[in-house]
Amino acid sequence: MNSNVLTYINTRWLLVITIGRRNLNRFGTCWTYCCESRNPFLQIFFVALSSVSIAGFLYNALPHMPGPYLHKIHFLIIPSQIISIYASYYVACTSNPGVITPDNLKKHLDYYKYDGLIYKPKTCITCKMQKPARSKHCSMCKACVGRSDHHCAWINQCVGENNQRYFFLFLYMLVEFCAYGSYLCFQVYRGMIIEWGLDKALVLDSRTGEKAVITFRRAFLYVLHHDRIIGAIGILAAVVSAVVLIFLIYQLYLASRGITTNEAFKWEMVEESVDRGELYKIVPINKTKDSLAVSTSVESFSKRYNKKKEPVEMKQEQKIESFEEIENIYDKGFLGNLKEVFFPPKF
């Protein structure tokens, strides 16, 4: 018996003895719901974290606005930013990712052609229907999704042909919202330095023994030490903005090349196969049918006086030496790829 199977049996037997079969079944049910099916945990976490951060900023920073570095116009910008981030998140969470159904299957098959390399005709054993090229069955969403990019737990559904534009919109709004929040926190701190008179404060220089005007860095750290909530919100916003911006740039880069996140892993496997010399392509060779190609002597004799030679298409395998030799048939050019993402075909 396989060693992995024995390990699984022994582990399960030990857990049954330790916590009981009923509790083990409960744990299995909980694990399936939390890790193998759609659940709103990360959505609740995102909304709760955003709401707490916004409330904390408004409670602690609003009394310092307007200030020396913040105009009254921010009282209009802040509500619009809050509405925009929640609205974009709602649209990204609720829009149809492009679920393939028997009604739109034919249109998907006609639009997305098989390239014979990373996509070949195949039947989804779960949905019991043919899988169009660029589609993928999601075990979390329990459906096949057209031009599937990836399953995003933050929006609790897949990112596919129909909602990838809304996903990009949400990412952009999140980057802009967090960057704006970090900017506000920084400017509030700058204003508090003036409010507390730290811009004119004198400190004793330990090296010279003389008094000198406090540096901006020391004044900023002093304010941060005494008002940590605004600083923590600002730092969190800056980190989230930077991380999501990198992810957004990567996603846009893939989209501009006509590649999904799912396909990026497939192309990496293809490139590895090319590097190992395991990938070949079928090359057609056109030859003419003459007397040597005929099996019987009667046909051979008659062909001698037939000046018309019929072309015969033959094929042979040719080793692919470089990854650049492979063509991505789904790459429609920079503008064409982005157009397909932001203005997807109607199915």
Averaged over 35-39, what is the pLDDT?
73
Q: How do strand 157-159 and strand 150-152 relate by DSSP bridges?
A: antiparallel
Confidence of residue 296 (pLDDT cuts 50, 70, 90): very low
- How far the first Cα of the chain sits from its last, in Å, is 49
Predicted confidence at residue 129, as pLDDT, reads 95
Structure confidence by residue, pLDDT tens digits, 170-219: 999 999 999 999 999 999 999 999 988 888 888 877 777 778 888 888 89
How are the residues of the chain apportioned to helix, strand and coil, as percentages rounded to the nearest 5?
Answer: 55, 15, 30
CA–CA separation, 66 vs 80, rounded Å?
17
Predicted confidence at residue 306, as pLDDT, reads 47
Predicted confidence at residue 284, as pLDDT, reads 77
- C-alpha 107: how far from chain center: 25
Q: What is the largest CA-CA distance in the chain?
A: 117
Write out the H or E segment, with its range, that includes residue 129: strand 129-131
CA–CA separation, 209 vs 226, rounded Å?
26
- pLDDT: is 329 or 301 the higher one? 329
Predicted confidence at residue 212, as pLDDT, reads 81
- pLDDT: is 70 or 15 the higher one? 70
Q: State how far the alpha carbon of 339 is from the alpha carbons of 95, 150, 333, 336, in Å.
A: 19, 19, 10, 5
Averaged over 253-271, what is the pLDDT?
95
Confidence of residue 301 (pLDDT cuts 50, 70, 90): very low
The structure tokens 């008094």 sit at 211
Residue 330: strand pairing partners: none
Confidence of residue 14 (pLDDT cuts 50, 70, 90): low
CA–CA separation, 126 vs 128, rounded Å?
6
8 Å CB contact between 149 and 260: yes
Q: State how far the alpha carbon of 111 is from the alpha carbons of 45, 53, 107, 130, 132, in Å.
A: 38, 45, 6, 14, 9
Q: Is the pLDDT of residue 308 over 60?
A: no
Structure confidence by residue, pLDDT tens digits, 91-114: 999 999 999 999 999 999 999 999
CA–CA separation, 126 vs 144, rounded Å?
9
> How many percent of the chain have pLDDT more than 70?
82
Predicted confidence at residue 199, as pLDDT, reads 82
Confidence of residue 294 (pLDDT cuts 50, 70, 90): very low
Task: Give pTM, 2 decimals.
Answer: 0.82
How is residue 135 written in tokens? 């589609």
CA–CA separation, 76 vs 83, rounded Å?
11
> How many percent of the chain have pLDDT more than 90?
62
Predicted confidence at residue 114, as pLDDT, reads 95
Show Cβ contacts of residue 47 under 8 Å, excluding neighbours closer than 6 positions: 86, 89
Q: How many CA atoms lie within 13 A of 183 on its CB side?
A: 12
Predicted confidence at residue 75, as pLDDT, reads 95
Write out the H or E segment, with its range, that includes residue 334: helix 334-342
CA–CA separation, 47 vs 40, rounded Å?
11
